[in-house]
Chain A
Amino acid sequence: MNAQAALIDQPDGGDSATQLGHVVTGELDLSHGVALYLEDITVSFDGFRALNKLSLAIDAGELRCIIGPNGAGKTTMMDVITGKTRPDSGKAFFGQTIDLTRLTEPEIAHVGIGRKFQKPTIFEQHTAFENLELAMKTDKRVWKSLMAWLSGDDRDRIADTLKLIRLDGEADRPAGLLSHGQKQWLEIGMLLMQEPKLLLLDEPVAGMTDDETMRTAELFVSLAGKHSLVVVEHDMAFVEKLGGKVTVLHEGSVLAEGDLATVQNDQRVIEVYLGR
């Protein structure tokens, strides 16, 4: 019941999780090289199968692009991974041990999954600096927040991230006043402040200029290796620039998988995109 107990920000988070009765929710274990493992995930909304026995595996450090027509289940998949939607059936594991279907949204954030929404979702009334401060990896329980005071190192980290997302000149501006592209970058910056192991990015370059899009691609490529990234995107130039493996979703399951060129030449993929 006490969700806070599971929010203890310690490497031995497994203890507290076991106390909560979670079966095998332990420390993040990437020893087998798999960061995210989905098996036979099914989600139905009023009889409509948004996800239909979806299976997917993302390697540690991998950069994976997910494409697919509207309604293919891309956002629902992210909802399942982040705990917003519970699957009707199937397994969702983060690393070897963490069962995502048993954790709440904040708990999943704590074990190391960060999510960027399709529409930039930032705190518009807070400054860019405060947005990053709130996202920063730390003990996020009420009492700690009441007593929190930034250390010099914390400030340096926020300053570094502001520089990385090119908002160092906008630190004290309310985030609501930033341009659309800047908001997207701020949200990416918030994700980085969480120090997640897995980043889920839903259409991260929507509304960005070509220049911003290319810079974002460079940033993501530089993040791969240390982090696993799952990018949902429609912009093929961007997908090409990212260069990783591509998964095509269609009607809630995987239609094709491979590098971009292979997938683009796949007859079924062409049919789905161009219509029969």
Chain B
Amino acid sequence: MSAITSALPLPASGRVPLTLRVFAALDRKAWIALGVFLALALVVVPVLHLALPPENAFHVSTYAITLIGKIMCYALVAVAMDLIWGYGGILSLGHGLFFALGGYAFGMYLMRQIGRDGSYGADLPDFMVFLDWKELPWFWLGSDSFGWAAFLVLAVPAIVAFVFGYFAFRSRIKGVYFSIITQALTYAAMLLFFRNETGFGGNNGFTDFKRILGYSITAPETRLVLFGLTAIALAATLVFSAWLVKSKFGRVLTAIRDAESRVMFIGYNPLWYKLSIWVISAVLCGIAGALYVPQVGIINPSEMSAANSIEIAIWVAVGGRGTLIGPVIGAFTVNLAKSWFTVSFPEYWLFFLGLLFIVVTLLLPQGLVGLWKKIMSKKQGAQA
């Protein structure tokens, strides 16, 4: 909460255009880091993937691109989680739901893009043919349009979050009670999506995608475009979030986290502040889900499982709450460890995850970012 070291000297008061304020939300180092990250994702990785032969040591494999692309989606979810948990003090254990809703909304479009190339060669998606449905359910109308799908990716998580959040926050449900209800919400949604009658492919969900906007979904170029878009989305989310938490809105939000009654008695209605950040967070998760599905090639109800949502909270805790960059680091650390573990010692992954959570909670309340800061300040102390 100390003084902001902005990238450019802004006047402390008076009229300052919004673009400059957004620019000032990150310090110079952060902008450089972001630039390097985008250069890597948009230029270096594509060149190394396309130009170098697979046997070259510097070749970036398709596996690596899919894995990193997937983790960037998770990192986006982690940043969204940090907004609501780290800054808003509201622990959601149901963020997997919003991620899945975004994924399903875009998955509907991908299912329609299969066209007649499915196993039944029918106009309807395979699972509907299998269920002997003769026509598309009403909520599939327009799902062949990319624009409509993109709209649903934003709108569905937003509406679900708004309705749920309005009643929860208006009833002043807080703390562990809120967490438990969100957990129940995602679990209920999972059971709903498991049913074939719900119309989203039951427990198999959506898979076997062929095309996106007419381009082959498995083509290296398509993969690289999706990879690049995910990197841009993650970078944009970080900039947007940094601006958000450094605005007065962000200060009110952390004030609600620390002393909600005081916030009310100085005239702010916490309901609308909580609801705003809750909906923003849900929409960001929806975007992440929509980017995830075409890269991973599948979406099914297990994305809504309780454990998935808890894992999101673990990424944030491991990286460091209330830091924005911490959750990105946490998402990468935990998921890289996961993909190594699940190959080398698959049966020990959950034990490791549990252990990690305990260690972080007990020894690193500020996460990896906090640890880093501690080391740096010790170093400075030693030099002084």
**Chain A residues at the B interface, C-beta cutoff of 8 Å:** 3-4, 7, 82, 84, 104-106, 109-110, 114-115, 117, 121-127, 130, 133-135, 137, 140-142, 145-152, 154-155, 172, 174, 190, 194
Chain A residues near B252 (CB, 8 Å)? 134, 145
Do residues B272 and A109 form an inter-chain contact, with CB atoms below 8 A? no
- Not counting A106-B269, A126-B255, a sample of 17 additional A-B residue pairs whose C-beta atoms are within 8 angstroms of each other reads A4-B269, A4-B272, A106-B268, A114-B266, A121-B261, A122-B259, A123-B255, A125-B254, A126-B251, A126-B258, A130-B251, A133-B251, A140-B266, A145-B249, A146-B249, A154-B13, A172-B3
- Max chain A C-beta neighbours (<10 A), residue from B251, B255, B265: B265
DSSP majority for the B interface? Answer: helix
Do residues B259 and A7 form an inter-chain contact, with CB atoms below 8 A? no
Q: Which of B269-316 contact A (CB under 8 A)?
A: 269, 271-273, 276
Query: How distant is the Cα of A174 from the Cα of B2 in the complex, in angstroms?
Result: 8
With both chains docked as a complex, state the minimum distance between the C-beta of A49 and any C-beta of chain B, in angstroms. 24
Query: How distant is the Cα of A115 from the Cα of B265 in the complex, in angstroms?
Result: 7
Query: How distant is the Cα of A71 from the Cα of B254 in the complex, in angstroms?
Result: 33
**Chain B residues at the A interface, C-beta cutoff of 8 Å:** 1-3, 12-16, 18, 21, 244, 247-249, 251-252, 254-255, 258-259, 261-269, 271-273, 276
Do residues B18 and A147 form an inter-chain contact, with CB atoms below 8 A? yes
Chain B residues near A110 (CB, 8 Å)? 267
Contacts A130-B251, A146-B248; is A104 near B12 (CB within 8 Å)? no
Do residues A152 and B261 form an inter-chain contact, with CB atoms below 8 A? no
Do residues B273 and A142 form an inter-chain contact, with CB atoms below 8 A? yes
Contacts A4-B272, A149-B13; is A133 near B248 (CB within 8 Å)? yes
Chain B residues near A135 (CB, 8 Å)? 266
With both chains docked as a complex, state the minimum distance between the C-beta of B8 and any C-beta of chain A, in angstroms. 15
Cross-chain pairs A/B with CB under 8 angstroms, 29 sampled: A3-B272, A7-B269, A104-B264, A104-B269, A106-B268, A106-B269, A109-B264, A109-B266, A109-B267, A114-B265, A121-B259, A122-B259, A122-B262, A123-B258, A125-B1, A125-B258, A126-B1, A134-B266, A141-B272, A145-B273, A146-B248, A146-B249, A147-B247, A148-B248, A148-B249, A152-B13, A152-B14, A172-B3, A174-B2
Task: From the candidates B12, B254, B267, name the one contacting A194 in the complex (CB within 8 A).
Answer: B267
Closest to B276 in A: A142
Task: From the candidates B1, B13, B258, name the one contacting A155 in the complex (CB within 8 A).
Answer: B13
Chain B residues near A151 (CB, 8 Å)? 13-14
Query: How distant is the Cα of A140 from the Cα of B251 in the complex, in angstroms?
Result: 12
Chain B residues near A150 (CB, 8 Å)? 12-13
With both chains docked as a complex, state the minimum distance between the C-beta of A165 and any C-beta of chain B, in angstroms. 16
Query: How distant is the Cα of A159 from the Cα of B12 in the complex, in angstroms?
Result: 13
Do residues B2 and A172 form an inter-chain contact, with CB atoms below 8 A? yes
